[in-house]
Amino acid sequence: MSAFESKLQAVADRVIAQAKPGEQVEAFVTRGGETDVRIYQGAVEHFVSAQSEGIGIRVISEGRTGFAYAGTLDESAISEVLAEARDNVQFGESDEWAALAEPDGVPITEQSLWNEALAEYPTDEKIDLAKKLEKLASGQDPRVRVDDSNYADAHGESAVASTSGIRMSGRENGCYVSVSTLADEGEGDDAETQTGFGFSVGRSPHEFDLEKAAREASERATRLLGATKPSTRRTTVVLDPMVTAQFLGVISSTLNGEAVVKGRSLFKDRLGDSVASANVTLIDDPTNTKAYSATDVDGEGLAARRNMLIENGVLKQFVHNSYSARRAGTVSTGNATRGGFAGTPGVGCLALSLVPGVRSQAEIVSDIDDGLLVQSMQGLHSGVNPISGDFSTGAAGLLITNGEVGAPVREFTIASTLQRMLQDIIEIGGDLEWLPMRASGLSLVIRDVTMSGS
């Protein structure tokens, strides 16, 4: 946010100027909007263009925290929010670690997070993009029909100021398109339908690859037609990039400093231990402009930074905001998260990625005699225990036989533990792909995983 000072900064500055002796005050102010378009059979089925603004204020006094917010920037409302936050202090529990973030001297990595081409992109052309994607996807295969085609973008500016010396503001925007497909085959009792999806992300619509999104949506749906339930066995699995990104999302919850200090992570007390295969290096780097969730500051106004969480299999650090860091006796890693003005800062990974290997998925598969390419997982987060590490989730994919992708399979579960899966990673693909989420995807090969079917 640092390259642009929002006019909202003056609003935040005025709030903290009203701080009373002995209290800490933080003001977080935002203004933004989003566009969502859904197309079905060439017509606009859903269209939303929404704007919002608001302010959240934290007041901390004698270890007690009060918070209040309002969805308006009217001056009288802001005064009421500050008064309410002060009033709420008396209801807060005393907490020895309660305090605002303080400047830590880490320099901000300048990034181009605002794209003027997106800001000026006409609404009718946004709709046309979704229509074009639907047409491309429906023309890929006669068995494929499009469930819906979507365009989405979001923009925002925000400012934060605190009595502890934080002062930061800026703006950013981004967009993506997606398409959901259905593939049909057979008739009567033998009829079946499989689903697929495709997407493309960018800082502006000019970066979209609609053809690739349409092609992948068709392929994901059609290649599971005729899927059967496989036999139970232990095998080598290859996670498709989207599945790997979801898997990393689960791993990120175990590296969350707040979860660690509360004893809710399987990696508690394991800093410095070997927790993964030696070829695993896991980095959270929101300063990488290729990441969809790239940013230059975190939710508390501290500089975002590149954090190496696992290096060559060894657990190096957890991610922290200022509060979890104080509880853990360390310093913030610049990983405060904030869903908006209506909440206080949380903590989490911002742009997670494995250091990629060099081979494509096809090259990886060619060396596997007996295995499974996992195309999708169902209920992944609910199927994982972040404390014990137990892992069990439904999946669908394609069997690998003698180095080639073959028969589709579904209605089976993949079971192991997170600890064992990390240790059993035998190869990381070179097909790194940034997705519309806080983790990137690539092909990931894990040996000796239980596939429970018939």
Residues facing residue 185 across a β-bridge:
192
153-188 pLDDT per residue, tens? 999 999 999 999 999 999 999 999 999 999 999 988
Query: What is the distance between the alpha carbons of residues 387 and 395, in angstroms, rounded to a whole number?
Result: 22
225-243 pLDDT per residue, tens? 999 999 999 999 999 999 9
71-92 pLDDT per residue, tens? 999 999 999 999 999 999 999 9
Buried b (16+ CB within 10 A) or exposed e, 24-45: bbbbbbbbbebbbbbbeeeeee
Q: What CATH class has 8-222? A: alpha beta
275-303 pLDDT per residue, tens? 999 999 999 999 998 898 999 999 999 99
Are the C-beta atoms of residues 179 and 198 closer than 8 Å to each other?
Answer: yes
Give the sign of the dihedral formed by CA 118, CA 119, CA 122, CA 128: positive
pLDDT of residue 153: 96
Query: What is the distance between the alpha carbons of residues 75 and 80, in angstroms, rounded to a whole number?
Result: 9
Residues facing residue 393 across a β-bridge:
414
300-345 pLDDT per residue, tens? 999 999 999 999 999 999 999 999 999 999 999 999 999 899 999 9
Pairing state of beta strands 352-354 and 346-347?
unpaired
pLDDT(115) > 70: yes
pLDDT(1) > 50: no
DSSP state of 319: B
415-453 pLDDT per residue, tens? 999 999 999 999 999 999 988 899 999 999 999 999 998
pLDDT of residue 4: 64
pLDDT of residue 380: 78
Greatest CA separation found in the chain?
A: 77
User: Which two tokens mark 77?
Assistant: 């409302």
DSSP state of 384: B
Cβ atoms within 10 Å, residue 381: 12
Residues facing residue 151 across a β-bridge:
37, 177
Mean pLDDT in residue range 245-257: 95
pTM (predicted TM-score): 0.93
User: What residues contact 320, with CB distance under 8 A and at least 6 apart?
Assistant: 257, 258, 328, 330, 331, 332, 333, 335, 347
- 2 pLDDT band, cuts 50/70/90, is very low
User: Which two tokens mark 106?
Assistant: 């880490």
Q: Where are the domains of the chain?
A: 8-222, 233-452
